[in-house]
Amino acid sequence: MVAPAVEAPVVIGLDVGGTKLLAGVVDREGHVIAEHQAPSPDGSEEGVLAALDAAVEALLDDRVAAIGYGIPANLERGTGRILWATNLPLTDVDLLRRARERFGLPVGIENDASAATLAEWCRGAGRGTANLLMLTLGTGVGGGIVLDDRLFRNWVEVGHVVVDEDGRECTCGGHGHLEVLASGSAGDVAARELYGPEADARLLVERATSGDDAARDALAGIGRHLGAAIGSLVNVFDPEPVIVGGGFGAAAGDLILDAARETARREAIYPADETLRIVPAELGQEAGLVGAGLVAFEALDGIR
C-alpha cells in the first residue's frame, strides 16, 4: 500500500502597507502561491482589524498552518504588542494574541521593514550572508538589520540617521535625516525645483534616464546623502552587503546607487572601503509579503 502524500504546510502572510493590504499563501521556500489584495483599511481600529481578518479568511484552508503579519508599527520587544503604527489607527493592540484566539493557529508579527529584510536575507540579495543592512527608499526611508546571522528585532529607525544637522526638517521633527534627503519625497522636492509644482520623483527618474543632466545631478545628490548614511552605518557594524529597495530605490537604481557607492566607500574605514557592496533588492514589492510568510514559519517552528 502506498501511503498518501503528506502535503507540506503553507502559511498566510499579510503585508500591511500605506496604500494597500497584500495577503498571500506562502510556502516554506518563500514562493507566493495565492494572493489577495485590498485597499489599505482606514478609519477606526475596529475597521482595520476587520479588514485584516477578512484578508486571512479569504485565503484560509486546511493546509494553512500559521499566520504572519508585517505591520508598519513599533512593536513591544518580547510580546510583539503593537505600541503605535505609522498611517494606521492601531495603538496598544495585541494583534498576536487576538489572531491566535480567532484562528487557533501559531501567529508571528514583525515590523514590515524588518519582515522585508528577513525575506531579502533568506530568499533575495542577502542569501548566505551573516551581517546585512537593508534600506527601503519609498515615501519615507525604512530598513532592517541582520546581525550575526539573526534578524535584529529591536528599534531600527535607519531613516532617522542624521546626514546634515542643519538640513530640512524631518517627518519626526529632527533635521537633515536620511528620510528627508534620500526618500521618494526627496525626489519629489528635487523634481519640483527643476520642473515646477506638478513634477514628482517619477518624472525626475524618467528625465535622468533619457539623459537630462540636471535630473542626473539631482539623483546623484540624493545618492551622495544615501552614501554618507551608509558609510556611517558600515563603520558601526560592517554589514556585507547593503541592500537598497523600496519603490523609489528600485526605480532610480544606479542613478542613485553609483553616487552612494562612491560616497560610502570614501567614508567607510578599511577594509570596508574596498569590500563594501551596495546592491539592489531582488524581491521587489513582494519582499514584505514573503517576509510576513517567513515570520509565520518562524512562529510555526517555535523559533521566536
Residues in contact with Zn ion by CB under 5 A are: 160, 170, 172, 174, 177
Cα(91)–Cα(98) distance, rounded to whole angstroms? 14
Q: Which residue is nearest to Zn ion (CB)?
A: 170
Which residues are paired to 68 by β-bridges? Answer: 13, 108
Q: Are 75 and 31 in contact (CB under 8 A)?
A: no
Task: Kindly tell me which of 131 and 171 has the beta carbon lying closer to Zn ion.
Answer: 171
Q: State the nearest-atom distance from the C-beta of 137 to Zn ion, in Å.
A: 14
Task: Kindly tell me which of 26 and 181 has the beta carbon lying closer to Zn ion.
Answer: 181
Q: State the nearest-atom distance from the C-beta of 194 to Zn ion, in Å.
A: 25
Q: In 3D, which of 218, 216, 225 has the Cα closest to residue 263?
A: 225
Task: Kindly tell me which of 102 and 160 has the beta carbon lying closer to Zn ion.
Answer: 160
Q: What is the CA radius of gyration of the chain?
A: 20
Task: Kindly tell me which of 22 and 178 has the beta carbon lying closer to Zn ion.
Answer: 178
Q: State the nearest-atom distance from the C-beta of 131 to Zn ion, in Å.
A: 24
- C-alpha cell belonging to residue 131: 551581517
Which residues are paired to 23 by β-bridges? Answer: 14, 36
Q: State the nearest-atom distance from the C-beta of 227 to Zn ion, in Å.
A: 18
Helices and strands in the chain, H and E counts: 11, 13
Q: State the nearest-atom distance from the C-beta of 230 to Zn ion, in Å.
A: 17
Residue 104 φ/ψ, nearest 5 degrees: 65, 30
Cell 530598513 appears where? 143
Task: Kindly tell me which of 120 and 139 has the beta carbon lying closer to Zn ion.
Answer: 139
